[in-house]
Structure 1
Amino acid sequence: MTPETLLHDDLLDGIRERAAGYDRDNAFFTEDLAELRAAGYLTALVPVEHGGLGWSIADAVRAQMRLAGAAPATALAVNMHLVWTGVAKVLRDRGDDTLDFLSREAGQGEVFGFGISEAGNDLMLFGSRTTAEPQADGGYRYSGRKIFTSLSPAWTRLGTMGLDSTSADAPKIVYGFIDRDDPDVRILDDWDTMGMRASQSRTTVLDGAFAASDRIVRRLDPGPNADPLVFGIFASFELLLAAVYAGIGARALDLAVASAHRRTSMKYDGRLLSQDPDIRWRIADAAIAQDAIEPQLLQVARDLDELVDHGPLWFAKLVGVKVRATETAKHVVDQAVRASGGSTYFAGSELGRLYRDVLAGVFHPSDDESAHSTVANAWLGPLDG
């Protein structure tokens, strides 16, 4: 089943119709998630032998662009589950079965949350403010606060990490998975944001939450690390995230074109604004920018699927496509709003909602500063000293 067949127009129309209400009410996308689960979308990257669709990363990128065009917040939240199933695929494609348990459980209906981000942690995967306390049985107990935990009302498994500073070989960054029914997990009802409201990416508090030994998947040295798990997280996260924002840009451009064919100008004797040179320039400028994103995004995704060896340039390519997609989406939405007039300033406007949603792109890792540092290191080498 292709992305276009699974995410067919009737399904997306219903998701698009609900998006404004979820945003207005600051409500989770419960109905969307139920329909996507029923369609098998949460198993898109799960191998067929584990009950999934066996899609490629490029397939998932195309699908997420499509879903984001209907409901950005729904797509962003679903992304976090797809990221983990994507990591499992990236590892499996390279002969590493570490996350096969995750693929099997996702195929059985478990929903995975992404409990990595922490306030004030600009090291991201290379450091942690959360403590990971080793247990006698080989498991770990995690204590800390994870922010922007999308799918908060629905995830059943949470992939997380913390710093082990007490073992003989410490320090180590420890990656593991915990269960939602753990009594030492608290989810705060603190999601009241400008945009991406339906994602309900609430703060998750871990007060000694337990990951069993068979759910501890890595113990890595802090700092930059080319371990396949780190690469898998980085690649899946950046590509699928870029897909969401590329989808927002594509939808904004469509809305601007529709507006130009609907609105008229007194200055031009009642002619449609599609004939106004200024409006035409703005929409053309947005189209030129938007047109460059999808080919690059899909090519990098195909390279990941096909095990292309970009060596030390892989991380530069991944951060580059993320930053370019999010910044381009902001530009396209801005041009679309300017071309579509003051009605977009009203709360019920879809373009107005996209304007708020697209701003979230600047906060997702890698941010503009770290991306430039990554690219500079790849091309110029690290700073001296």
Structure 2
Amino acid sequence: MTFDAKAYLPDDLIARIRERAPLIDAENRFPDEDLAELRAAGYLKILVPTDRGGAGLTLEQAAVLQQRLATAAPATALAINMHLVWTGVAKIMRDRGFDDLAFVQDGAARGDVFAFGISEAGNDLVLGGSDTIASPTADGGYTFTGTKIFTSLAPVWTQLGLHGLDTTDPENPRLVYAFIDRTDAVVTRDDWNTIGMRGTQSRTTELHGAVAAPARVARVVPLGETDPIMFGIFAAFEILLASVYTGIARRAIDVAVETVGKRRSKKTGKSYASDADIRWRIAEVGLAYDALLPQIAMISRDVDDLVDHGALWFAKLSGLKHRAVVMAKHVVDEAMLTGGGSSYFARSELQRLYRDVLAGMFHPSDPESAHATMATAWLGAAEE
């Protein structure tokens, strides 16, 4: 049976979100109205299982929905992505017999908003390391001290999922994955002033001994080891990111097609939709866009179906994200040229998509990491 994305994101909701997007970008603020409508529609719990109050959708279905949401407002889709990542991690882990994040599913069903506090300046180990200090407490919880960057949903989150390094035993350093409440120990800087994706409000977060209660400590992983939570984070993050940027590409094509259909050549008197060069450009971006749809569907379905790709999983996931953002940037570039000089004006939706799509290259896995992962998958480790 074909999945009906409009049942979760109906046309009228998409239209309202799209109408608000230019002003939210111009005012550099969080899309509170979008969040309120999406919450009311049950969108924040699409990946929560039905027995815990959610819609019980698959990762493949969520990827389709995030593509659709991104056609309306890329920044809103990217912000919501970070909440969906954590509910996606909870689903991926539970499907594999690890129910450590049941509290995430229960919280999302109640209306909690989960933010993603993993990124740190200069930490190219990402999930494999942290500069944030995780200090154990007497009751089995942890305090966290450090700085996280690119914390999307910064003004509105109620739970922040994060990691830190516990070095209390120097012979056995451990990475701690946990969730904290918003308290006075958490300082959110008002420092989000970027080229694009302005509505995400992905501000810097300072942690000054922020407490994770014992029940909110999800996993404690010996440094250097791989854990199911790492796979869950990487899979949900890369697939949903690929979906958002693929949605941007789709919207850029739609706007370009609409634009050329309205323009007529003074030279020939014909619609620009009949111009051979423009037809070639539209065909080229259509070919590029079409290639990502089955890739996202296949890889997300493999996660849903517990397919075992072994050591190739990380190459497949980082490769998917890399191909999606490269494709999307190429598509938006071509759409800008197809749209003509009017695309360069601030009033143009294409110029906003042009700025938004640039953010894709800065998310993990970056191009260097994606290529290194793929090279190791095919060639093995490089000689020292």
Q: TM-score range by the shorter chain?
A: over 0.9
Q: Report SS of the residue matched to 1:292.
A: helix
Q: Is the 8 A contact 2:172 2:223 kept in 1?
A: no
Query: Larger deviation: 81-90 or 254-263?
Result: 254-263
Cα offset for 1:2?
Answer: 4.1
Q: How many residues align?
A: 382
Question: Which 10-residue stretch deviates more, 256-265 or 38-47?
Answer: 256-265
Distance, in Å, in 2 between the alignment partners of 1:221 and 1:329 is 37
Which amino acid is 2:349 matched to? E
Cα separation, 2, equivalents of 1:167 and 1:77: 37
Match status 1:192 vs 2:193: yes
Q: Which residue matches 1:215?
A: 216
CA shift, 1:384, in A, is 2.8
> Residue 273 of structure 1 corresponds to which residue in structure 2?
272
1:137 has 2:136 as partner: no
Retained in 1: the 8 A contact 2:49–2:56?
A: yes
Deviations 1:317-370 (A, max 9, x none): 101110000000000000000000111111121000000000000000000100
CA contact (8 A) 1:176 1:216 kept: yes
1:87 paired residue number: 89
Cα distance in structure 1, aligned partners of 2:149 and 2:347? 28
**Post-superposition CA distance 1:213-266 (Å, at most 9, x none):** 12111222334x431110000000000000000000001011111111111112
Structure 1 alignment gaps of length 5 or more: none
Shift of 1:135: 1.4
Deviations 1:160-194 (A, max 9, x none): 011111236531111110001x2200111111110
Aligned to 1:28: 30
- 1:178-327 correspondence runs (5 A): 178-180=180-182, 182-223=183-224, 225-268=225-268, 270-327=269-326
In structure 2, what is the Cα distance between the partners aligned to 1:310 and 1:259?
Answer: 43
Q: What TM-score comes out, normalization by structure 1 length? A: 0.97
Which residue matches 2:352? 353
Contact 1:134 1:167 in 2 (8 A): no
Q: Matches of 2:8 and 2:31 in 1, distance apart?
A: 19
CA contact (8 A) 2:63 2:243 kept: yes
State the match for 1:369 in structure 2: 368
Q: Which residue of 2 aligns with 1:6?
A: 8
* Matched letter for residue 262 of structure 1: K
> Separation in 2 of the partners of 1:57 and 1:357?
24
The share of aligned pairs that are identical, in percent, is: 59
Residue 277 of structure 1: how far off its partner (Å): 1.1
* Alpha-carbon RMSD: 1.1
Tell me: CA distance 1:169–1:134, structure 2 relative to 1, closer, same or farther (3 Å): farther
Structure 2 unaligned residues grouped into runs of 5+: none
Letter in 1 for 2:207: L
Equivalent position of 2:19 in the other structure: 17
> What is the 5 A alignment of 1:102-141?
102-141=104-143
Deviations along 1:135-159, one digit per CA (max 9) or x if unpaired, are 1211111111111100111110000
Distance 2:310 2:186 in 1: 39
Q: Distance in 2 between matches of 1:384 and 1:173?
A: 28
1:79 aligned partner, one-letter code: N
Match of 1:227, as an amino acid? D
Amino acid of the structure 1 residue aligned with 2:370? A
Amino acid at match of 2:279: R
Q: Give the 4+ runs in structure 1 shifted more than 2 A.
A: 1-4, 167-170
Structure 2 residue aligned with 1:381: 380
Q: Secondary structure at the match of 2:29?
A: coil
CA contact (8 A) 2:189 2:204 kept: yes
SS at match of 1:206: strand
Structure 2 counterpart of 1:73: 75
1 CA distance for matches of 2:53 and 2:80?
18
* Partner secondary structure for residue 208 of structure 2: strand
